[in-house]
Homo-oligomer: A and B are copies of this chain.
Amino acid sequence: MIRLQKEQNTMAENVIIIGSGPAGHTAAIYAARAELKPLMFEGFMAGGVAAGGQLTTTTEIENFPGFPEPVSGPELMVKMRDQALKYGTRIKTETVTRTDLSGDVKKVWVDSEMYEAKAVIIATGATAKRLGIPGEDRYWQRGISACAVCDGALPIFRNKPLVVIGGGDTACEEAMYLSKFGDTVHMLVRRDELRASKAMQARVFANKKIKVWWNTNAVEAVGEQFLTGVKYKNNKTGDDGLITASGLFFAIGHTPNTGFLEGQLPTDETGYLMTRNNSTATDIPGVFACGDVKDKVFRQAVTAAGSGCMAALEAERWLGEQE
């Protein structure tokens, strides 16, 4: 028994999957059905979000195909996780802290504990950006949040004026969502137009609870024990002032979660992993990347899932070629 234990410990896994959003779990489902016995590190609040990834911070999902009735993000991720487990994925609720992808056997660490694998699938997603203004750290989670949909329903925000920063689809979506909970939602937009899709713009403009402030930057978060307001400055006119608000929500984009790779894989100028065309293969043989960590264009649950499937099929093929 002891000997068996030892052999198991020293035997490299076929494939380690890092990340547990739609890309990671779809890769796991496919790898497990291909009898690769994948080992997934789903993360423990990795990148600041729960295992399951960014979808766990969304409420109703209307556009994941196969669900004519909206499904909640957490619910969809539980379904995918159950499916990955059912076909034989082993899941560890730990965050990978470091990797060494240089050898034939790839090494993956969770703190001081090392795991080895022949192939690695990176599906660590991306994390919401912060603004970095004075008061931000002090009022973080005391009125400031990067996820309206996760936090907007909290009592401290109900029937209170709120501020959303950003001009993209996410910002519009978050403003719409927050407008359900009561008072005015102030949307601070750096430019004189929204980057959001027209459909989304139309909805925002039609919502009487949302007030859009054009050419406006948030310059400071103020408060006492909790946030009480946001100082702003108009970047065209120079006008400034204070918006009374109990909540400040950032919706200003994302950073791909690649820190644990310490530059071992090439990225584009914005830090996203690069893969071969129409493929999830990275520059390192046996290492594949899928989902939002390599996609800054589409970023949808179903596109992430599709690329997770590709990663598993490509990893399976690659492993077959190594035998």
Contacts and interface: CB of A to CB of B under 8 A. Distances in A.
B79 A67 contact: yes
Interface in A302-323: 302-310, 313, 316, 320
Contact of A199 (B35, B298, B308): B35
Mostly, the A contact residues are helix
Interface in A156-176: none
B25 A65 contact: yes
A83 interface: yes
A298 B303 contact: no
A26 interface: yes
Contacts of A308: 65
B34 A198 contact: yes
Given A34-B198, A199-B35, A313-B298, A76 B66 contact: yes
B68 A82 contact: yes
A81 to B, nearest CB: 9
Given A35-B202, A66-B67, A278-B278, 11 more contacts: A30-B300, A33-B199, A63-B309, A65-B83, A66-B66, A66-B83, A68-B82, A68-B83, A300-B306, A300-B309, A302-B306
Interface of A: 22, 25-26, 29-30, 33-35, 62-68, 71, 76, 79-80, 82-83, 86-87, 197-199, 202, 277-278, 297-298, 300, 302-310, 313, 316, 320
